[in-house]
């Protein structure tokens, strides 16, 4: 059943037209849809595609043609409803849309009680806007990217003198007094405070705690470069002192990628000299677990940090590796590896979380594996084939040009997945799916859709392992996302580290290997 909707002499934002086209195409029962101006060449194309009916032939170059081929009247009615919604109703909403303050001053006139400003302007303007907020006595959550290093340092030095915080940049997660900022999950309030230099690290740990029934007091994302020697952990140190004085925080977790030994020592000593129990995870740090004390534990992975904090909170020792590789995991790995082409045991990891990338690279290297974490010119499949396993952080700036962050926008990952058909070396696909506020509303559908586009033979030989970072209370629903992935043949693991362990075991055939990381040997 074919229907053409013609809107005479009509102009719409091209973004609206693209959105309409995509939404129509995705409707169940719609086999083809096109949205085009009625130029002669476009009408020829629509005719060739069997998408032009008599009314469409009458359209001129300034008329918009919406063409829909659907299975039945009901589907067509639904599709026409989408057309109405996007081309008529949306315009009306935008027309009389609510007024929002356009400046910080106007926002403060409306909310003089505000204490925190979320700044999300392009990086080159971030200093100016952040400084305006700090001068008015507001804490700043800085969500901008590409903030110049010297600007970040200046802002943080100023904030420190005023007793204020600058959270971020390069870290898009904060939960302050139960209020989430930017990317965050719906986690319960509780007694564990998290301070992180990384957004996804905070999300991973807070979700693991939530799944274990524990909540957080505060989650403070101090910025991916805060522990750089030039900045010296200014906000990290201030945040530690704040949580040490916070009566609602019983245990503090500190998460960061490895920094300089001096900075790591400053942070560790600050925690050790304070009144509260703590867990520190400097991913890839040289500080061995053995240097931990009864009150300040050293965790080597994010899941280990969560379990250690739970242990401290609940009075257990809290230093056991939380997800030790079990016989069950080995059995699962053996079963999955049986599907693999023996010549294609390479892991291809497509990650949206920077900390999760770092964790994957570090853990695989601990297993003695060779890892490549950069693609030549960003081209996938890579040529020439890089050595070892391949871990790609699609949140890097080169991949986010012209689109949203991959936590929200799955196009780059789904495109790479489809291209796996051209590159048979990668037999194990490893993914992180971040749920929660600000994230994609249905990541499972995106991944499943891309996997289903692979030829059957390629799909069946591909082992897909994913970790889901989320909670049952998140809008996407942790359980339903996991169930749908599972039904599509994706093996879902409870943490990123555990997904990496499984992928590693699958790559080794799940047989005759010692799966315990070297670092665990060293400390036991």
Partner 1 sequence: MPPTRILNVRSAGASLASLLEDSSWDGRISARFRSALQITGPHERLVHLQGGSPLVSPFSLRIEGNLGPIIAELDIDEGMPVRKEGPRLEIAGRLRLLLEDMRYYRSPLTGGVIDPEALRLAERTLALCVRPGGLDAMRVAREAAGEIDAGLRSGQIERVVIASTRLVGLGPGLTPSGDDFLVGTLKGLSMFGWAQRMPVTALAALRRGLTPLLRERTSKVGAAFIGHAMHGQFAEVLDRAAATLLAPAEPEAVTSGIARFLGQGATSGADTARGFLTALDACLSANGKEQVLQC
- Interface ranges with partner 1 (CB under 8 A): 9-15, 17-19, 21, 34-37, 39-42, 45, 61-62, 91, 94-97, 99-100, 102, 146, 377-379, 397-399, 401-403, 411-412, 415
Q: Please identify, using beta-carbon distances, which residue of 265 and 418 lies nearer to partner 1.
A: 418
User: What is the smallest separation between the CB atom of 15 and partner 1, expressed in angstroms?
Assistant: 5
Q: Are 156 and 198 a contacting pair, CB within 8 Å?
A: no
Nearest to 311 by CA among 301, 325, 293, 297: 297
| CA–CA distance, 325 with 317 (Å, rounded to integer) | 19
Q: Please identify, using beta-carbon distances, which residue of 100 and 456 lies nearer to partner 1.
A: 100
CB atoms within 10 A of CB 372: 17
**Which uninterrupted H or E stretch holds 338?**
none
Query: Could you tell me whether strands 426-434 and 216-221 are parallel, antiparallel, or unpaired per DSSP bridges?
Result: unpaired
Q: Please identify, using beta-carbon distances, which residue of 54 and 379 lies nearer to partner 1.
A: 379
CB atoms within 10 A of CB 130: 30
Q: Please identify, using beta-carbon distances, which residue of 97 and 275 lies nearer to partner 1.
A: 97
Q: Please identify, using beta-carbon distances, which residue of 20 and 252 lies nearer to partner 1.
A: 20
User: What is the smallest separation between the CB atom of 101 and partner 1, expressed in angstroms?
Assistant: 10
Q: Please identify, using beta-carbon distances, which residue of 152 and 303 lies nearer to partner 1.
A: 152
Q: Please identify, using beta-carbon distances, which residue of 208 and 407 lies nearer to partner 1.
A: 407
User: What is the smallest separation between the CB atom of 392 and partner 1, expressed in angstroms?
Assistant: 12
Sequence-distant (≥ 6) Cβ neighbours of residue 3 within 8 angstroms: 53, 67, 68, 70, 76, 79, 80
User: What is the smallest separation between the CB atom of 404 and partner 1, expressed in angstroms?
Assistant: 12
User: What is the smallest separation between the CB atom of 338 and partner 1, expressed in angstroms?
Assistant: 33
Q: Are 285 and 262 a contacting pair, CB within 8 Å?
A: no
User: What is the smallest separation between the CB atom of 506 and partner 1, expressed in angstroms?
Assistant: 28
End-to-end CA separation in angstroms for the chain: 69
Query: Could you tell me whether strands 389-393 and 296-298 are parallel, antiparallel, or unpaired per DSSP bridges?
Result: unpaired
CB atoms within 10 A of CB 298: 23
Q: Please identify, using beta-carbon distances, which residue of 68 and 296 lies nearer to partner 1.
A: 68
Helix (H, G, I), strand (E, B) or coil at 449: helix
Q: Please identify, using beta-carbon distances, which residue of 16 and 114 lies nearer to partner 1.
A: 16
Sequence-distant (≥ 6) Cβ neighbours of residue 125 within 8 angstroms: 144
The region that residue 348 occupies, defined by phi over 0 for left and psi between -120 and 50 for alpha, beta otherwise, is beta
Q: Are 447 and 417 a contacting pair, CB within 8 Å?
A: yes
Q: Please identify, using beta-carbon distances, which residue of 105 and 269 lies nearer to partner 1.
A: 105
Nearest to 188 by CA among 162, 163, 214: 214
Q: What angle do CA 247, 437, 358 make, to 5 degrees?
A: 80
Q: Where are the alpha helices (DSSP H) in 370-495?
A: 397-400, 411-419, 443-452, 456-461, 478-487
User: What is the smallest separation between the CB atom of 58 and partner 1, expressed in angstroms?
Assistant: 15
User: What is the smallest separation between the CB atom of 117 and partner 1, expressed in angstroms?
Assistant: 19
Tokens of 374: 């950069």
440: DSSP letter: -
Q: Please identify, using beta-carbon distances, which residue of 46 and 499 lies nearer to partner 1.
A: 46
| CA–CA distance, 280 with 289 (Å, rounded to integer) | 10
């Amino acid at each position: 059943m074919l229907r053409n909707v013609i809107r005479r002499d009509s102009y719409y934002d091209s973004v609206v037209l693209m959105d309409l086209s995509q939404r129509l195409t995705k409707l169940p029962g719609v086999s083809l849809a096109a949205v085009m101006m009625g130029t002669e060449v476009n009408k020829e194309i629509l005719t060739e595609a069997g998408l032009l009916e008599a009314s469409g032939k009458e359209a001129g170059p300034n008329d918009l043609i919406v063409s829909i081929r659907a299975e039945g009247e009901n589907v067509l009615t639904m599709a026409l409803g989408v057309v109405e919604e996007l081309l008529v109703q949306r315009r009306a909403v935008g027309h009389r849309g609510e007024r929002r303050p356009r400046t910080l001053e106007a926002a403060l006139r409306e909310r003089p009680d505000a204490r925190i400003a979320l700044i999300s302007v392009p990086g080159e303007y971030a200093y100016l806007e952040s400084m305006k907020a700090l001068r008015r006595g507001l804490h700043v959550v800085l969500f901008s990217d590409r903030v110049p290093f010297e600007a970040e340092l200046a802002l943080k030095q100023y904030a420190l003198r005023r007793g204020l915080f600058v959270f971020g940049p390069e870290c898009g997660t904060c939960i302050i007094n139960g209020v989430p900022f930017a990317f965050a999950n719906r986690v319960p309030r509780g007694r564990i405070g998290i301070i992180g230099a990384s957004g996804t690290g905070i999300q991973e740990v807070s979700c693991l705690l939530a799944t274990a029934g524990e909540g957080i007091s505060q989650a403070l994302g101090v910025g991916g470069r805060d522990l750089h020697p030039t900045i010296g952990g200014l906000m990290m140190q201030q945040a530690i002192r704040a949580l040490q004085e916070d009566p609602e925080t019983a245990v503090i977790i500190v998460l960061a990628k490895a920094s300089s030994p001096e900075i790591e020592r400053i942070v560790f000593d600050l925690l050790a000299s304070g009144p509260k129990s703590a867990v520190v995870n400097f991913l890839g740090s040289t500080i061995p677990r053995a240097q931990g004390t009864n009150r300040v534990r050293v965790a080597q992975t994010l899941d280990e940090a969560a379990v250690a904090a739970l242990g401290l909170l609940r009075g257990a020792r809290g230093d056991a590796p939380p997800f030790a590789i079990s016989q069950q995991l080995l059995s699962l790995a053996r079963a999955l590896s049986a599907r693999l082409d023996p010549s294609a045991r390479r892991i291809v990891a497509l990650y949206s979380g920077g900390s999760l990338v770092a964790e994957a690279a570090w853990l695989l290297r601990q297993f003695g594996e060779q890892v490549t974490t950069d693609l030549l010119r960003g081209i996938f499949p890579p040529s020439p084939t890089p050595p070892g396993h391949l871990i790609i952080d699609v949140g890097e700036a080169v991949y986010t040009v012209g689109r949203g962050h991959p936590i929200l926008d799955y196009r780059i990952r789904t495109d790479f997945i489809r291209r796996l058909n051209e590159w048979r070396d990668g037999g194990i696909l490893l993914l992180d799916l971040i749920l929660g506020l600000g994230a994609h509303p249905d990541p499972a559908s995106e991944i499943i859709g891309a996997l289903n586009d692979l030829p059957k033979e390629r799909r069946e030989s591909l082992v897909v392992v994913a970790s889901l970072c989320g909670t049952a209370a998140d809008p996407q629903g942790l359980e339903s996302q996991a169930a749908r992935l599972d039904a599509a043949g994706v093996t879902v693991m409870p943490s990123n580290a555990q997904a990496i362990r499984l992928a590693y075991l699958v790559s080794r055939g799940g047989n005759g290997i010692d799966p315990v990381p070297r670092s665990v040997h060293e400390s036991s």
